[in-house]
């Protein structure tokens, strides 16, 4: 990773007025469904700038039937042209979890107001649309869909648009309009003072506070910027927080649980990515500087997705990509419960990970060689051309071993932040490959899972629920 030196916004002073305390969110993992994956279309959409007050229609506001609070699929205003009278609005505290092996999401509403989600297979068509209402402080599974339209409660009979989610090749892309300074009670979100926030004695002073810098690679953190939509991903095992600050002052504190992702609002802001305080000292993983939806150079960057994957797996862009099998560690797919499912002549192959470790699948997407992670207990499906007379290769790899930790940032003798450097990726590992040609498996080093057994496994999981 190349580290670019640039100045970032200095740590701000505290503010005195906040509103709308937020319920602390606890992720309900047991709600995550086991659903078949679906193909989702790509899309592009813009969200209007915020104007509706974040507090309007909040937990203390009026309550009525769903169709009086949100735009629903049954509403005559939900047409192929959408609704022409959307109001722009703002939302806070939204994060999501990708359900392993599916095209479904669990949306976590850590904000102070209820959120309604219109999930539609494809736009501009509106048939098959479903509505999910997520109460403040709750989590709900969203149906598989190409687009999810996020809304607040209606204002004077008008639906309020706050964001959208669509599917990209690398996963969901979520855009939201976030709060402005003073709308969120950050102190209430962090009432236990676990993180470094405005109002703390060591925040916003004239001198640089004591800071504990940590390696974002080792913590499993990375950032994505897709078409101007920036998101922080937590693939570690500890909750983190992202403090966002705009030109108007502190805006929000996003709590991101392990395996969750938090979109950052559009606009100009600085985001402090933090861990819990260590013996009272703030822990800082990185600082993101975003201008007009673009990631700007920072002295404390987070790794991007490619850098993160390269550090964890053997990837097509790794410097040791051509290392050869003798320089790799061969893992036991049967022992680690890595299997595949393929029926002769089928147009897709499914890789299952019933073990306890993350794996990745190297596969082709057009002319590009891509990598897709599969979580423990998850699966992923990939397209197959059954008429292709050239081998289609699907290679399963495990996490690298003996990776060298990076050098963390530090405060130098002049009181300036000296950036750290990434560690060295360790020895690559692999499970083997499956090769399909003319609709048949011509080579496999991975155990094949009987389709009936896979269906029986799913029935047993449903029964346990």
H, E, C per residue of 11-38: CCCCCCCCCCCCCCCCCCHHHCCCCCCC
Q: What is the pLDDT of residue 407?
A: 80
Instruction: Look at residue 85 and tell me whether its pLDDT is greater than 90.
Output: no
- pLDDT tens string 433-451: 999 999 999 999 999 987 6
135 vs 83: which has the higher pLDDT:
135
- Residue 456: predicted pLDDT: 52
Q: What is the DSSP string of 167-221?
A: EETTEEEEEE--PPTTSS-HHHHTTT--S--TTSTTSS-SSPPP-EE--HHHHTE
Positive or negative: CA dihedral 43, 49, 50, 52: negative
Cβ atoms of 398 and 430 within 8 Å: the answer is yes
Residue 50, pLDDT > 80, answer no
pLDDT digits (tens, 9 = 90+) for 196-205: 999 999 998 8
pLDDT tens-digit map of 89-102: 999 999 999 876 66
Q: Are 267 and 201 a contacting pair, CB within 8 Å?
A: no
Task: Name the residue among 134, 169, 163 with its Cα closest to residue 148.
Answer: 163
CB 408 within 8 A of CB 336: no
Mean pLDDT of 122-136: 86
pLDDT at 286: 94
pTM of the complete model: 0.80
User: Is 134:114 a contact under the CB 8 Å cutoff?
Assistant: yes
Contact between 416 and 312 (Cβ < 8 Å): no
Find the farthest-apart pair of alpha carbons in the chain and give their distance in angstroms, rounded.
69
The residue behind tokens 């004591």 is 210
Confidence check: pLDDT of 9 > 70? no
pLDDT score for 76: 84
What is residue 17's predicted lDDT score, i.e. its pLDDT? 30
The pLDDT, as a whole number, for residue 366 is: 80
Give the confidence band of 207 by pLDDT, cuts at 50, 70, 90. Answer: confident
CB 121, CB 146: distance < 8 Å: yes
**180 or 51: whose pLDDT is higher?**
180
Mean of the per-residue pLDDT values of the chain: 82
> CA angle, corner 419, sides to 233 and 7, nearest 5?
90
Query: pLDDT tens, 284-299?
Result: 999 999 998 788 999 8
C-alpha to C-alpha distance for 397 and 401, rounded to whole angstroms: 12
The tens digit of pLDDT for each residue in 274-285 reads 999 999 999 999
In the prediction, which pLDDT does 114 show?
97
**430: cis peptide before it, omega within 30°?**
no
Distance in angstroms (rounded) separating the CA atoms of residues 262 and 405: 25
Specify the higher pLDDT residue, 213 or 267: 213
Give phi and psi for 451, each to the nearest 5: -60, -35
157: left (phi over 0), alpha (psi -120 to 50) or beta: left
Whether 207 and 294 have beta carbons less than 8 Å apart is answered as: no
Taking only the tens place, the pLDDT of each residue in 291-347 is 987 889 998 999 999 999 999 999 999 999 988 777 899 999 999 999 999 999 999
Q: Quick one: pLDDT at residue 80?
A: 63
pLDDT band at 64 (very low <50, low <70, confident <90, very high): low
The first and second tokens of residue 7, run together, are: 């100045």
What is the pLDDT at residue 40? 31
């Amino acid at each position: 990773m190349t580290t670019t030196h640039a100045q970032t916004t200095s740590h701000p002073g505290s503010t005195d007025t906040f509103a709308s305390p937020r319920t602390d969110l606890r992720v309900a993992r047991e709600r995550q469904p086991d659903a078949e994956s679906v193909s989702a279309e790509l899309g592009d959409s813009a969200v209007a700038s915020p104007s509706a007050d974040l507090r309007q229609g909040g937990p203390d506001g009026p309550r009525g039937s769903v169709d009086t609070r949100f735009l629903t699929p049954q509403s005559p205003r939900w047409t192929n042209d959408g609704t022409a009278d959307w109001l722009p609005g703002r939302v806070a505290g939204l994060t999501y979890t990708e359900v392993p092996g599916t095209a479904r999401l669990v949306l976590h509403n850590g904000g102070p107001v209820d959120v309604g989600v219109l999930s539609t297979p494809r736009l501009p068509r509106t048939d098959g649309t479903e509505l999910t209402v997520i109460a403040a402080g709750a989590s709900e599974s969203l149906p598989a869909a190409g687009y999810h339209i996020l809304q607040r409660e209606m204002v004077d009979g008008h639906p309020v648009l706050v964001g959208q989610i669509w599917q990209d090749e690398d996963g969901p892309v979520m855009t939201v309009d976030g709060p402005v300074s003073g709308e969120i009670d950050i102190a209430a979100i962090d009432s236990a003072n676990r993180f470094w926030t405005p109002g703390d004695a060591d925040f916003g002073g004239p001198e640089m506070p004591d800071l504990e810098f940590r390696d974002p690679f080792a913590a499993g953190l990375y950032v994505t910027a897709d078409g101007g939509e920036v998101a922080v991903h937590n693939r570690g095992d500890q909750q983190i927080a992202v403090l966002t600050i705009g030109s108007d002052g502190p805006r929000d504190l996003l709590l991101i649980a392990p395996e969750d992702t938090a979109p950052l609002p559009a606009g100009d802001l600085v985001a402090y990515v933090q861990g819990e305080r260590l013996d009272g000292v703030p822990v800082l993983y990185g600082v993101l500087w975003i201008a007009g939806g673009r990631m700007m150079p920072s002295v404390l960057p987070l790794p991007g997705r490619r850098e993160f994957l390269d550090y964890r797996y053997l990837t097509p862009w790794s410097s040791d990509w051509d290392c050869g099998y003798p320089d790799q560690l061969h893992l036991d797919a049967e022992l680690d419960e890595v299997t595949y499912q393929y029926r002769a002549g089928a147009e897709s192959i499914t890789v299952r990970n019933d073990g306890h470790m993350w794996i990745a699948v190297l596969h082709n997407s057009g002319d590009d060689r891509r990598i897709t992670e599969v979580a423990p207990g998850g699966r992923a499906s990939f397209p197959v051309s059954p008429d292709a007379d050239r081998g289609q290769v699907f290679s399963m790899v495990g996490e690298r071993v003996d990776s060298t930790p990076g050098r963390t940032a530090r405060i130098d003798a002049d009181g300036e932040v000296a950036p750290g450097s990434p560690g060295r990726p360790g020895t690559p590992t692999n499970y083997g490959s499956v090769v399909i040609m003319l609709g048949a498996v011509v080579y496999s080093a991975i155990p094949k899972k009987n389709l009936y057994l896979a269906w029986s496994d799913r029935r047993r999981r449903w029964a346990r629920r």
